[in-house]
Structure 1
Amino acid sequence: MNSSIIIGIAGGSASGKTSISRQLKEAFENTQSVVIIRQDDYYKDQHQKTMEERIKTNYDHPFAFDNELLVEHLKTLTSGGSVEKPTYDFVHHTRSDHVEHIDSSDVIVIEGLFVLENEELRDLCDIKVFVDTDADIRFIRRLLRDVNDRGRTLDSVVTQYTTRVRDMHNQFVEPSKRYADVIIPEGGQNSVAIDLLLTKISSIIHRNVV
């Protein structure tokens, strides 16, 4: 068995994946090394495209991600190695020049839209989680995030949601829920579900070190 455990957290856009990931990191960082890896940082590089072409990219389709590189990095980390993780520039719609050095950790949390949709990714996960949040809540959160943090306009966010996000969620994200070991309604606000998840993670960590 690998010395590291991987927790995969999937769910719709702005469902609360990041909130849960942070709670897991905070819960274990005093006793275990924990790293969070966002699938969003593995969007494919688009430096070769014009801004107009980048804007037209469907970022809510699995093909937008370099999952091959993500799988390679996860295998390296679980084997005790380190990686240079890409980061993504959401303002310019392409991979940033900045990379992050990531060392192997006891607990690796990978969160993203298609973590459970992709067979290679979910097969690497010791625990598979799906965050199940109502569509209207997700849309409001996404709207606030994209306008305030990613420099998008109100019209662009609404257009993207109605023409791509909603359909891609129904086609790819929602069906991946069937692969989950744990489904957490209400995202990071569901303290009971998170406590149960923490208990399960603790048991796996204990099993790995015994």
Structure 2
Amino acid sequence: MINDSNRKRPVVIGVTGGSGSGKTTVSQAVFDQLQRHSLLMLQEDSYYKDQANMSFKERLQVNYDHPDAFDTDLLISQLKALLNWKSVDIPIYDYTAHTRSSQIKHQTPREVIIIEGILVLNDPRLRDLMDIKVFVDTDDDIRIIRRIQRDIQQRGRSLESVIKQYLKTVKPMYHQFVEPTKRYADIIIPEGGQNKVAIDLLVTKIRDILRCNHEL
């Protein structure tokens, strides 16, 4: 049995972009193409702060697109544990209740860790743990349409509430906090999951890193 201390550090890929940009689709496409390796996906949304101490009305007023909405310290702590081949218990967020659920997801370490979320390149401590940083760049009009479809179909939201939130927080926070992180990206993927060439190039690069790791 190989001692964990002698194992090569897992490869970390950060994938970001605005809400509805297609970053989840890109992450899933990479995940699907690398299935012969051991992979896991960390979603930044899992690390929204626990708001059990707040009323439901108060939770509705929270700006969920601001860095303060996330427990980034916990995300970094758990990522570091996974990089040291230690298992973690990931929170599960309840989008309907706007707080963490009572459930957790036990996650064992893997060779490749994909971190996906709107602000994963915002914190330098998190960026420094990444081997490849990806920004999925998609026009505002396409992103709002995708967000409307997702929030109504998957999260039980009304059209009015989705549009109101988008104009009040999602769009301004994107331009203030998300779009500026494009400068840190190693790879920029226009149009998200539709860009098969960029995804294939990203997968090839990850495979090269993994091959080098196995040869060491």
Query: What TM bracket, shorter-length normalisation?
Result: over 0.9
Q: How many residues end up aligned between the 2 structures?
A: 209
Q: Please report the TM-score for the alignment, with normalisation by the length of structure 1.
A: 0.98
Please, what is the CA RMSD of the aligned residues?
A: 1.0
Q: Is the counterpart of residue 162 in structure 1 residue 167 in structure 2?
A: yes
Q: Please report the TM-score for the alignment, with normalisation by the length of structure 2.
A: 0.95
| Equivalent residue letter for 1:190 | N
Q: Deviations over 1:84-132 (max 9, x none)?
A: 0001100110011111011100000000000111111111110000000
State the identity %.
52
1:98, 1:123 → 2: CA distance?
30
List gaps (5 residues or longer) in structure 1: none
1:22, 1:96 → 2: CA distance?
24
Report the CA distance between 1:151 and its aligned residue.
1.2
1:34, 1:25 → 2: CA distance?
7
1:154, 1:77 → 2: CA distance?
39
Match of 1:121 in 2: 126
Report the CA distance between 1:2 and its aligned residue.
4.7
Note closer, same or farther for the CA distance 1:62–1:2 as it changes in structure 2 (3 Å cut): farther
Match of 1:152 in 2: 157
Report the CA distance between 1:176 and its aligned residue.
0.3
**1:2–1:79 CA contact under 8 A, matched in 2:** no
**1:2–1:78 CA contact under 8 A, matched in 2:** no
Match of 1:7 in 2: 13
Instruction: From 47, 66, 74, give the equivalent of 1:69.
Output: 74
1:116, 1:68 → 2: CA distance?
14
Instruction: From 23, 32, 47, give the equivalent of 2:29.
Output: 23
Q: Is the counterpart of residue 203 in structure 1 residue 208 in structure 2?
A: yes
1:58, 1:39 → 2: CA distance?
15
Match of 2:39 in 1: 34
